[in-house]
Structure 1
Amino acid sequence: MLGRGLLLVCLAGVLWGTIGPSVPLAVEASGLGPLTVGALRGLVAAGVLLAAVASVGRLRRCWVLARPQWRRVVAVGVLTATFQQLFFVAVLWAGVSIATVVCLGFAPALLLVVGSVRERRPPAAGALATVVVAVVGLLLVGGAGSEGPAGSRPVVGVLAALAAGAAYGFSAEVGAPLSRRLDTLTMTTATMVVAAGVLLPLGLGLPLLRGEPVLTADLASWGWIVYLGVVTMAVAYALLFTGLRTTSSGTAVVASLLEPVTAVLLAVAFLGERLSPAGVLGSVLILLAIATLGRRTREPAPQ
């Protein structure tokens, strides 16, 4: 049975799985570029979190609590923004399936290696088997959606996906001990404000210099942007950070592989796509890997 922390991380993965269908709808409806939509998403998330902190009279306390941990706060925020921007670039240059498989498959493998180097011993057989099963499942799920258009610069796109996976993995690695030092609202607000600050220059500043639009008058597209900011960023990261209090970063990264499973199921349910036998098998393997995490999860030691 999944522990509470792992269950929260899984729920975050499910929410992230709705990004895939939502971003194209937001881009198509608004006429804005994906990087601009990503920057507006970050701005919405930071604004909503700041409003929530202010509404409960904790704005100053949030600053007081986060300030002593500013290095980790900045690191998590920058890594989160870097992951998002590089992943968008990877999708544009390598295609959705390849970018997803490379990025999300590399993150747990990287953390497994990092953990082994830090502990100066080979990874435990159970942990290695879990990562292998999860990555194989991810490959099968990604292959199930490989009929989509390929990217224009696949080699550079794969490199961007690898970098995005590293940023995602290290954001969880740095965020895990921070989540046990700060309450969820403080940590989520502080790190998302930093992330928004990183996302804005590239997502809004660059288009402005090029004379491209950075806002839209279409209300439907704003609905999608608000959803992406509030649900898939503010709420999802709050769930992740809460889950990281009792779940290791490597375990959390594997559990978040529910993201592509959710995206595939949504595509089948609402976009008329068909799930191949490989996709079914891949989804089952990911769920089995997460189930083994639930059996092996234990509360991490304070850091």
Structure 2
Amino acid sequence: MEATASAPARWSLVTAVAPIAWGTTYFVTRRYLPADHPLYGAVFRALPAGIVLLALSGRRPHGSLWWKALVLGTLNMGAFFALVYLAAQLLPTSIASTVMATAPVVMMLLAWPLLAERPQVLPAVGAAIGIAGVSVMLLTNATGIDPLGVLASVAAMTMSSIGYILTKKWCPHVDVLALTSWQLIAGGAVLVPVAVAVEGAPPALDGGAVLGFAYISGVATAVAFTAWFTGLRHLSAGTVGLIGLLNPVTGVLLGTLVAGDTLTARQGAGLMLVFLGIVLGQPGVTQAVRARRARRKAVLSGGRTARPPLSGRRTRRPRRPTAR
């Protein structure tokens, strides 16, 4: 019983590696990577990570997995990376992270018709609390909000949510390491001709940019997406989406620890709300609530006085006819 209950918690911890790593990408992108090259930025992020994972897995797609990998790679990697890179350059981190924080709700709604995963009450409440926490934590009097950046964030969030649900639906038994590598290579390969046509020659990279791309490609992509798709394999889409709220939390804490930002009382309250929302969406909490309701129902039904069975009732004997 304890082993069964601990399994979802273990997969939740594995999944949490992804949003924590992704939470560092905004800081690294704005601090170290070249601006105005979102397409090449996506290529440099996806292709090296995909090649390394392919070498580790040693498996190639077959049959319908070829076109599925192409579609998923475009949604989850290629187009998503380019849009996130563009949003990071055009928007304050707070705005971009808040838009991406709505992903759990979108994933829950998509998982209903596509995966037959009905939204549960506690995860839905947790998503609402988590989004409120992100808004309290990040939304201030931000100025200079670029509509194109907002559009890029919304598009990235929507496309990736669709891609994650389709990954869970189409590839439930494919090796996670191989599946991640195929998507990364497909997404990067799709972007190469587009990058050449739109942005021309690749940007010149200094030492900081090389190290930045090495970190983003290795840790925030190869390791992070492997953990993310592992979580999707073992947890519901809504639960995985809620764990993704650790992304903006990481961004705030990173700014406090590295950039010297001050953690305000408002941000602290937002962090608490986000953590509360994530906890409410975990399978163990839902199971505990259901078990408590079942026990209460059993107690209430057991305390009622049941009517005696029909066979136990006294029946009146028929009167014998009297002789006249």
Tell me the TM-score range normalised by the shorter chain.
0.7 to 0.9
Q: Is the 8 A contact 2:114 2:169 kept in 1?
A: no
Taking the aligned partners of 1:186 and 1:293, their CA distance within structure 2 comes to 29
**Is 1:86 aligned to 2:83, yes or no?**
yes
Contact 2:73 2:184 in 1 (8 A): yes
Task: Note the C-alpha offset of 1:205.
Answer: 4.0
Bigger drift between 38-47 and 11-20 goes to 38-47
For the pair 1:44 / 2:48, whether they are aligned, the reply is yes
For residue 86 of structure 1, report the CA deviation from its aligned partner.
2.1
Q: Which residue of 2 aligns with 1:268?
A: 256
Say which of 20, 24, 32 aligns to 1:18: 24
Within 2, Cα distance between the matches of 1:130 and 1:226?
35
CA contact (8 A) 2:122 2:281 kept: no
Q: Map of 1:220-235 to 2, 5 A cutoff? A: 220-235=208-223
Q: How does 1:1-303 map to 2 (within 5 A)?
A: 3-27=9-33, 33-53=37-57, 58=58, 62-63=59-60, 65-80=61-76, 81-105=78-102, 107-116=103-112, 123-143=119-139, 147=142, 150-151=144-145, 153-154=146-147, 156-178=148-170, 180-208=172-200, 213-216=202-205, 218-294=206-282, 295-296=284-285
Q: For the Cα contact (< 8 Å) 2:127–2:278, is it kept in 1?
A: no
Deviation of 1:232 (Å)? 0.5
2: CA distance between counterparts of 1:204 and 1:249? 36
Structure 2: which amino acid aligns with 1:286? V
Task: Give the Cα–Cα distance (whole angstroms) in 1 for the partners of residues 154 and 63 of structure 2.
Answer: 31
Distance change (3 Å), C-alpha of 1:45 and 1:125: same
What does the per-residue CA deviation read over 1:111-168, in whole Å, with 9 as the maximum and x for residues that have no partner? 2333455689984322321110111111122226x65x624x32x4323322211112
Contact preservation (8 Å) 1:9, 1:243 = yes
Retained in 1: the 8 A contact 2:176–2:229? yes
Q: How many residues align?
A: 279
CA RMSD of aligned residues (A): 2.7
Partner Cα separation in structure 2 for residue 116 and residue 243 of structure 1: 18
Give the Cα–Cα distance (whole angstroms) in 2 for the partners of residues 204 and 224 of structure 1: 22
Specify whether residues 122 and 44 from structure 1 end up closer, same or farther in structure 2 by C-alpha distance, changes over 3 A only. Answer: closer
Q: TM-score, normalised by structure 2?
A: 0.77
Q: Distance in 2 between matches of 1:279 and 1:199?
A: 37
Structure 1 contact 14–258 (Cα < 8 Å) conserved: yes
In 2 relative to 1, CA 179–261 (structure 1 residues): closer, same or farther, beyond 3 Å? farther
> Distance between the aligned counterparts of 1:291 and 1:76, measured in 2?
29
**Runs of 4+ off more than 6 Å:** 119-122
Structure 1 position 226, deviation (Å): 0.9
The separation in 2 between residues aligned to 1:256 and 1:174, in whole angstroms, is 17
Give the drift of 1:36: 2.5
Give the superposition deviation at 1:14. 0.7
1:24 and 1:244 map into 2 onto residues whose CA distance is 29
SS in 2 for 1:73: helix
The one-letter code of the counterpart of 1:252 is: V
Deviations 1:160-183 (A, max 9, x none): 322211112112211223453111
TM-score for the superposition, normalised by structure 1:
0.82
Shift of the alpha carbon at 1:253?
Answer: 1.5
1:254 to partner: Cα distance: 1.4
CA distance in 2, matches of 1:40, 1:118: 32
1:245 is paired with a residue of what secondary structure? helix
**Are residues 150 and 31 of structure 1, via their aligned partners in 2, closer, same or farther at CA, if it must alter by over 3 Å?**
closer
| d(CA) in 2 for partners of 1:244, 1:227 | 24
Deviates more, 1:282-291 or 1:171-180: 171-180
- CA gap of 1:183–1:296, structure 2 versus 1, over 3 A, is farther
Q: Distance in 2 between matches of 1:90 and 1:255?
A: 22
How has the CA–CA distance of structure 1 residues 72 and 281 changed in structure 2, closer, same or farther, with 3 Å as cutoff? farther
Cα shift readout 1:260-289 (whole Å, capped 9, x = no counterpart):
101110110010111222211111111122
CA spacing shift, 1:93–1:31, aligned 2, 3 Å: closer
Letter paired with 1:226: A
